[in-house]
Chains A and B, each alone.
Chain A
Amino acid sequence: MKSRNELKNYQNEQHNFKLRLGVLGLVVLTAFSLLAIRFYFLQIYRYDYYQTLAENNRISIVPITPNRGLISDRNGVILAHNFFVYTLEITPSKVKNLAATIADIAQLVEVSPSDLKRFNKLKSESHNFESVPLRTHLNEIEAAKFAVNRYRFPGIELKSRLFRHYPLGKQGAHLVGYIGRINDKDLTKLAANDVLSNYKGTDHIGKSGIEEHYEAQLHGTTGFQQVEIDADGKAVRILSSKAPTSGSNLILSTDSKLQEIAETAFGERRGALVAIKPSTGEVLAFVSMPTFDSNLFVGGIDVENWKLLNESLDKPLINRPLRGVYPPGSTFKPFAALAGLENGKRKPPFSISDAGYFMLPRSSHRYRDWKPGGHGNVDMRRAITISCDTFFYGLAMELGIERLSSFVRHFGFGKKSGVDIAGEVGGLMPTPEWKMRRFKQPWYMGETVIVGIGQGYTLATPMQLAQATAILANKGVAMRPRLVAAITDAKTGISQATQTVISDKISLDETNLEIVKLGMIDVTLPGGTAASVGANAGYSVAAKTGTAQVIGMKQNEKYNANLIAERHRDHALFIAYAPAEDPKIALAVIVENGGHGGSAAGPIARKVMDYYLLGKLPEVELPKANVLVKPNENLAPVDPPVNAPVVEHYD
């Protein structure tokens, strides 16, 4: 019974199998018939069409480069746009005697030595079969002259190309950035992002600033034409085409008038300024001085200008707001103050009697205040106003480095702000673990003491200082700073605002915030370290001055004794937000080797705040009387920590 059953199953199974095999056989037949039909369609029905394409002519696909998106400021002032220029381009592989040909061309069209140098530089950087510009910006007459003689110059083409232009030139160069020719490194990156085919026909790419960070949005989508080309490679007929899609336009949050005022206020001095709208994180001004003309880079920078920029002692190419790291000095004190208050270590009416120095327990070393003899009785508010070092030495010691460090991280110290531009560095907020990792050494109490006044290992970028001030003004809520306020789709014309992002949030006691705010307001009132900044302002300013010692000197700076003396002077720092009751702007200013923060950096900040809040520059000459001059506030001799390293750069 059982065996019969199995036998039956077996037969059933075999029958089923054959049935299903038959079904699959039909599938095979259908699929191959489908192929045969497709072959018939291609090879018989459409034969003439493909025959024409393949035999008489060849099909070539010509990319059409999209227009790069425009960049404007918040008021619509154009910061970057495109225009057509004639360029004369050589494909080296198609030219037999390059030198002789160029000499021939020079008879027709002027070729300057710097053109030649740039050509040689670009040629060495590109492949032999790529066309390299010899002359750009040909005028109509030159273009016509060459066109008539074109037959004499195989391998040389007159092209009409879109050129990027930055109408404001030097203004905001670090912010807007520039584009440059695509190199091998760019190609690798494009390939990794799988967008290489979109760059056929494009030979420039964003290299720095907004141009780099928003490359994907600015570039657009490359269109193409399918053209028939004859034996000589000339286009005969367009078969099909697809128009390119222009890149999106960017609207920045910055105000170019404000930017101009800030840059003018710096004059010949080096430094940086960042202004932020605290409630949204919109960056209002982004200044790096000295600056350079972005237009120099578009066609490929010539050797002389490159040398000038790259070897200048002033380092104009460095993006100071983003990559310049400075000890925050006394501008750190409001944040240390808040740390002390929030941790319950300095509850009012706490005060100290300052004799002009601070000593650690069981140590005879004196950490001196900037004012010999001390300030007398000092409470928290006054400590901020007069920038009392002794007060903060003690505060830092009692708080301890871990608590201090983790508290101020909520204000962005020691981490990147996340602003939408590439290359930001994160500064440094030291901890014992960091020191052990970095130097394999334990942390010393003395190092905590000097962190209290923003010295020691502590380093911050101007971007970070401005962001910290903005967070303070916004009562502990950190809005991620951003430079692009809106992106306009070129096709639809619809503008989409970029997102306002809360990147961090720390809940703070209102009364503590009030103490720090009052201390900072007093800074700009008579008796404060920046009284001139608040004088006749018409709005209240909460601010803090700072002075940072210049730490390391670069080797190449030693050949000019006078210059060293100037460059040894302290950096002047200044942070502020205003109006203090309802902050609309928060900023940080650094003037390199500027001396004291209140007198060197403060007036720049005042001009920016005046324009932004009142729409004007300060009208009257600022009074010089009643200003407490406080030279070298941090030159108070602080013994360096054991084996103190020369701090240069932390990323």
Chain B
Amino acid sequence: MISQLLQNIFKHIDAFLMGCLLFTMLIGLFVLYSASGQSFERISAQLVNISVALSLMWLVANIQPQHLERIAPALYLFGILLLIAVEIFGHISHGAQRWLNLGIIKIQPSEIMRIAVPMMLAWFFAKRETSPRFTDFAIAALLLLIPVALIMKQPDLGTALLICASGIFVIFLAGLSWKFIVGGMVLAGALMPIFWSMLHGYQRKRIEILLDPAQDPLGAGYHTIQATIALGSGGTTGKGWLNGTQAQLDFLPERTTDFIFAVFGEEFGLAGNLILLTLFSLIIMRGLVIAAQAKSTFTRLLAASITLTFFTYAFVNMGMVSGILPVVGVPLPLISYGGTSMVTLLLGFGILMSIQTHKKLVASG
């Protein structure tokens, strides 16, 4: 009886994916405890974030993918409207307009778009009855560029780039001809100067400083220098939990959020880093398998995009902390402190699970 009930509850949970996620989040809690200066408050706040996110994940996992497909355009439109609202009424937070205050709750429309954009594009390609033509790809590109431009204007370069990536994955997997891909790369190279001129001064500086962190060790280069020292001094097995000198001595900036990986790398060394890389790889592999096995165009494209966006997050964050990518405000997925990104991430995994576990229903129905 009870076992049946449990079976019903977990019917739509993918055990392998769930295991990997929980293990990674557990590691995250340990790192956060160290990075926050052993603050129980931070841990309990993060536990609340995780609980809320897991509940929502469960909820989404139980929704049939067809329903998700149906609401995709509405969700997308809703997100765009919110982005415009932020542009107009948005209240300034951290110097950038990202939040929309609805009285009771503050929402960050760009986070909605992280789910809505791949859903919308997958819906769009699923709707094409023939194999997509050039005009279809052009429309898809437009659907992608509108939210990306709005988010870049906030300015939130990190999120804009990641949403852009999530859309590009869909377009690529929908079968954009290799001709265009090569052409697009050439064009992107040519458009680089325009993109460069659109960036804010501090964003430009960060990219310049990546090429030469020593250029501004007092300002933006400081992050990179301190993070590489923390990582490098971790060695093979690390200094041990709670023993990272760089992290504990306030040398590291933003060490519970974007730079938490430096704390991890210092305390657990190369061994820890490789374990984390393996965990991320397993999650990504599972996601790709789910995508490969998915039965409809919509689910296929969506599953792949969600998985690959997760990969992009992890790669950009770790690349930034280890000094091979510019400092863009991207958290380390499942590890960094923060509610909003945790919710969006697990919602994504909820969709993956829904796609995987409703497959039979789709096939039979």
Contacts and interface: CB of A to CB of B under 8 A. Distances in A.
Interface of A: 9, 12-14, 16-18, 20-21, 24-25, 28, 31-32, 34-36, 38-40, 42-44, 46-47, 49-51, 53-55, 58-59, 61, 63, 194, 196-198, 200, 222, 224, 226, 240, 242
Nearest to B245: A54
B172 A197 contact: no
Given A13-B175, A44-B270, A47-B233, A196 B265 contact: no
Contacts of A46: 232
Contacts of A40: 270
Contact of B288 (A25, A42, A59): A25
A46 B230 CA distance: 12
Contacts of B234: 43
Contact of B219 (A42, A43, A54, A196): A196
Q: How big is the B interface, by class?
A: 35 or more
B76 interface: no
Nearest to A12: B131
Contact of A194 (B201, B233, B284): B201
Contacts of B218: 61, 63, 197-198, 200, 222, 224
Contacts of A55: 233, 245
Given A13-B131, A31-B315, A42 B231 contact: yes
A53 B304 contact: no
Contacts of A9: 130-131
Interface string B276-307: 01001100110010011000010010001000
Interface string B249-285: 1010000000000000110011001100100110011
* Interface-central residue, A13, A44, A47, A50, by most chain B CB under 10 Å: A50
Interface stretch (B147-155, B318-326, B354-362): B318-326
B173 interface: yes
B297 A44 contact: no
B318 A17 contact: no
B315 A51 contact: no
B78 interface: no
Nearest to A61: B217
A43 B175 contact: no
Contacts of B249: 58
Nearest to A32: B277
B166 interface: no
Contacts of B173: 17, 20-21, 24
B222 interface: yes
Nearest to A24: B308
A164 B130 CA distance: 76
A50 B297 contact: no
The 6 closest A-B pairs by CB, nearest first: A50-B232, A197-B219, A54-B233, A42-B232, A43-B270, A50-B233
Contacts of B281: 28, 32
A31 B311 CA distance: 9
Contacts of A17: 173, 175, 292, 300, 304
B311 A51 contact: no
13 contacts: A9-B130, A17-B173, A21-B304, A24-B308, A28-B284, A28-B308, A28-B311, A32-B280, A34-B319, A43-B269, A47-B236, A54-B229, A61-B218
B236 A194 contact: no
Nearest to B237: A43
Contacts of B175: 13, 16-17, 20
A68 to B, nearest CB: 18
* Interface-central residue, B217, B284, B319, by most chain A CB under 10 Å: B217
A38 B292 CA distance: 31
B18 interface: no
Given A17-B173, A42-B322, A43-B234, A32 B315 contact: yes
